[in-house]
Amino acid sequence: MADAAPIVSIRSLTKVYRQGDINVTALNNLSLDIAAGEFLALMGPSGSGKSTLLHIIAGVDRPTNGQCRVQGIDVAKLSESDLADWRNQNVGFVFQSFNLIPVLTAFENVELPLLLTKLGGRQRKKQVRTALELVGLADRSHHLPRQLSGGQEQRVAIARALVTDPALIVADEPTGNLDANSANEALGILQALTTSAGKTVILVTHDPKAAAFGSRTVHLEKGELVV
Amino acid sequence: MPGRLALRLVKSIVPPFRHPHNALRADRPVTIATFIAKNALRNKRRAALCVLSVAVSLFLLVTLLVTLREFTIPPEDIGAAARIVVRNRISLANPLPYRQRAVIEKIPGVEAVSPFSWFGGKYRNEEFTAFAQFAMDPKLLRPIFGEAKMGEGQFEAFERDRTACILGKLTADKYGLKLGDKMVLESTIYPCTIELKIAGIYSGTIDDRNVLFHHDYLDEASGLKGTVGTWWVKARSLDEVAPVVTAINEAFKNTSCEVRAETERAFQLSFVSMLGNIQVLIGSICTVVVFSLVLVAASTMSMAIRERMRELAVLKALGFRQRELFAFILAESFGLAMFGAALGVGGAWFLFEPAQLMQKITGGLFITFEVTPRIIGTASAVAAGLGIVASIAPAAGVAKMSVVQGLKTLD
C-alpha cells in the first residue's frame, strides 16, 4: 500500500478567506499524501484548518493556491457542474449534525445520491437495502429521522455516504453529537469500511479516542501540519 | 462488539455494489416528485395558508374579470343584429312624439316599428326591482322579438287583453308567478300605478326577466298619450340595417325632435360608456390583487427555503447541481400556486356557472356571469407566473450559497 500512488495528493495547498478587510489564512502551504484504504484522522484545535482541508479534498471548497489531486484529478480545476458529478461518484459525506432530510424516511435519505445516477428503481432499492444492512438499520428503513436515535441517524448518514460506492468517505466530527456507545458504533463502521471494503476514510476530529480508530493521525495547527 | 459486527456485515457483502462509470443524469423517477411534494407539505399549515391565499386572490381576480366583461361586453340576442333603437338625440330621458312612427314605417328596409317605453316600476315595495318593464305594441312582439318563445295561445292572449302582460321565465320563477296572476307596478317615471294580468311567460331570449305590456294601457293610465320613450325598429335584412339607421337619422334632422338611431348593440354599449372608466378601476384593483399575491407567495417561498439552506447545501454536497436545486424550488412554488389556482379558479367557475351564484345573490342583476375559457386562462397564467416569480429570489439565494456556507447555517 505504501508504494501505491496516493489516492489524495496535496501540494503547497493554501486557503485564504477574506473577512471584511482582513485576510484569514486557513491553510498555509500544506502538503500531504493519503494512501488508498487509509483511515486518516485529522486532529487539531478549533480554527486549525482541518475542516477547511477536508472540504477542499471533498470538492466543496477550492484552494487559493496549490494543488489537490484526488485519484489523479485536480478537483480545483473542475467546473461546478463537473465537480458536482465528481462528488456524487467519488465522495461520501458524513456530518456532525447528521444532516438527514427530515421529511424523508431513512430509506429515502440513503437513496438520495442514487437519484443522480443511471440506475433503475429496482437496482437503487437493492443498493439502498445493502447500505442499510451494512449499518444494521434495515429494519428501520421506513422511519423518519425524528423517529431514530442520534446514533441511528448517524448510521443512516453513513449508509447514505456509502450508497454510491465512493472511493473516499469524509467525516467531519461525526461523533460530536453522539454518546460514547453510538460514537464507537459509527467509528467501528467507518473503520470496517477501510479494512474490508478498501475505502479511504478521512476523519476530522478533536477527540483522541475517535482518532484512535484511524490508521494514521495528522495534526494541524494554524493551517500547517505539525510534524 | 459493534465494530466486529460491522466488519462481519461488510465482509458478507462481496463484492460491494459497483457504481456505474460515466454515470449520466438519469431520467427523473417518481421519487423526485415525491421529494418535492414532501418538501412542499413539510409545514402543512404554511402550505395550506399559501394555497388559500392564492385561491382566494384568484377567486377575486376571476370575479373582477368576469364582472368587467359583463359590464363592457353585454350579452347579445340572436335577433339583435337586425334591430335598431331610435331615441331622442338630446337624451334618452326625453320622449319622442308618436307622429314619428308613420315616418319611420315608410322608410325602405323597415319591416316593423314599435313604441318601446321603459315603465320604471317598483314591484312589491322592493328597494330595487331587478326586472325591467316596457310598454310596446303587442302585435309587433313576434315580428321584432322573434326569439321569444311562449306556450300555445299566449301570444294571442297577450294581444287580446289590453291589461295583459308577458313575463320572463326567470322573474316568474323567482316570484312564483304563473299565468293569470296579477302584478301591480308603481312607476318611478310615470304618474301611475298599473295592474297587469300575466297572459304569457316567455323564454329563449338573452334576458328572460322583463315584463312587456300594452302601450295603449300606459297611455291611458299615465294620461300622457302621444309620446313614447324609444322606437324599436326591425330591419328587413342585415344588409339594410346601416341604410335604415342613416335614413332614420336624416328623416328627423333639423326637426323639433331630432333622433339618434343606432343598432341595438350600439345602444347597449352606450350604457357601458356611462359607467365611466370602469376598465381602469377594475384593472387597478386586479393589479393590486396580483401584486399583493406575488408578495405573499414570494415571502412564503423565501421563508420556506431559508429554513432549508443547510439541507440544500447537503444536496449540493451530494452532487445535485444548481439547476436541479432551482428545479426543486420552482416545482414546489409552481405546484403550490397551481393548486391554489385550481381551488380558486375552479371554485369560481363552479359557483358562477352551474350554481349561478352571482345571478342569485344580485337578484338577477347580471343576466349572465360567464367564466369564459379566456378568463380561466388569464387567471391560470397569473398563477403560473406567480409560481415562477416567487421562486426566483430563493433560488438566487441558493445559487449564491456555497456548500461550506450552507452547512454552517443554523437550523
| CA-wise closest residue to B134 among B112, B115, B113, B153 | B115
A28-55 confidence digits (pLDDT tens): 999 999 999 999 999 999 889 999 999 9
Residues of chain B contacting A185 with CB distance shorter than 8 Å:
2-3, 6
pTM greater than 0.90: no
List of chain A residues whose C-beta atoms are within 8 Å of the C-beta of residue B18 = 165
Average pLDDT score over residue span B139-147: 89
Which residues of chain A have a CB within 8 Å of the CB of B319? 84-85, 87-89, 113, 116
Chain B residues within an 8 Å CB radius of A102:
42
Query: Is residue B15 reached through a cis peptide bond, with omega within 30 degrees of 0 on the bond before it?
Result: yes
Q: Is B320 within 8 Å of A191 when comparing Cβ atoms? A: no
Count Cβ atoms below 10 Å from residue A143 Cβ, excluding itself: 16
User: In angstroms, what separates the C-alpha of A111 from chain B's closest C-alpha?
Assistant: 9
Per-residue pLDDT tens over the stretch A12-27: 999 998 888 888 999 9
Could you tell me if B289 and B60 are in contact, meaning their C-beta atoms sit under 8 angstroms apart?
yes
Residue B324 to residue B329: CA distance in whole angstroms: 9
Confidence band of A157 (pLDDT split at 50, 70, 90): very high
pLDDT above 60: residue B93 = yes
Q: Which of B324, B320, B312, B323 is nearest to B405 (CA)?
A: B312
pLDDT value at B264 more than 80: yes
Residue numbers in B near A95 (CB within 8 A): 314, 407
Cross-chain Cβ contact B19/A121 below 8 Å: no
Q: For residue A9, give how far its alpha carbon lies from the nearest alpha carbon of chain B (Å).
A: 21
**Separate counts of helices (H) and strands (E) for chain A:** 7, 10
Q: What ipTM score was computed for the predicted complex, to two decimals?
A: 0.91
What digits encode the pLDDT tens for the residues B240-259? Answer: 999 999 999 999 999 999 99
B404/A61 CB distance under 8 A: yes
Say if CB A175 and CB A205 are below 8 A apart: yes
C-beta separation of A154 from A184 below 8 A: no
Contacts of B133 (CB under 8 A, 6+ apart): B118, B119, B120, B121, B165, B185, B210, B211, B212, B213
Measured distance CA(A93)–CA(B406) in Å, rounded:
14
**What's the 3-state SS for B236-297?**
CCHHHHHHHHHHHHHHCCCCCCCEEEEEHHHHHHHHHHHCCCHHHHHHHHHHHHHHHHHHHH
The band of B410, judged by pLDDT with boundaries at 50, 70 and 90, is low
Q: Name chain A contacts of B34, Cβ cutoff 8 Å.
A: 108
AA letter at B323: R
**CB of A100 closer than 8 Å to CB of B8:** no
Instruction: Check: CB of residue A101 under 8 Å from CB of residue A146.
Output: no
Share of chain A above pLDDT 70, in %: 98
Contact B38 A104 (CB under 8 A): yes
Least Cα distance to A112 among A169, A160, A158, A153 occurs for A160
Q: What is the pLDDT of residue B365?
A: 66
> Helix axis angle, B2-12 relative to A180-197, nearest 10°?
30
Residue type, B343: L
Mean pLDDT of all residues in chain B?
A: 85
pLDDT band at B71 (very low <50, low <70, confident <90, very high): confident
With an 8 Å Cβ cutoff, are A184 and B2 in contact? Answer: yes
Alpha-carbon distance A36 to nearest alpha carbon in chain B (angstroms): 16
CA of B269: how far to CAs of B76, B238, B273, in Å? 11, 19, 7
Q: Left if phi > 0, otherwise alpha if psi is -120 to 50, otherwise beta: which for B204?
A: left
CB pairs < 8 Å spanning A and B: 136
Is A136 close to B311, i.e. CB distance below 8 A? no
Residues 318-337 of B with CB under 8 A from A: 318-322
Euclidean distance between CA atoms B347 and B362, whole angstroms = 18
Question: A142 CA to chain B: closest CA distance, Å?
Answer: 15
What the block records as the C-alpha cell of A44 is: 487539531
For residues B165-169, average pLDDT: 94
Q: Would the CB atoms of B9 and A108 count as touching at under 8 Å?
A: no
Q: Is the pLDDT of residue B74 over 60?
A: yes
Closest chain A residue to B14 measured between Cα atoms?
A: A197
Chain B residues in contact with A192 (beta carbon < 8 A)? 3, 6-7, 9-10
Q: Is B44 on the interface with A (CB under 8 A)?
A: no
CA dist., res. A75 & res. A54, Å (int): 13
- Measured between beta carbons, the chain A residues lying within 8 angstroms of B13 are 130, 133-134
Entry field: residues in chain A:
227
Is the pLDDT at B9 greater than 90, yes or no? no
The partner residues of B230 in beta bridges, in order of sequence, read: B116
> Cβ distance A51 to A215 under 8 Å?
no
CB neighbour class for A19 (10 Å; exposed up to 12, middle 13-18, buried from 19): exposed
Residue B301 pLDDT > 90: no
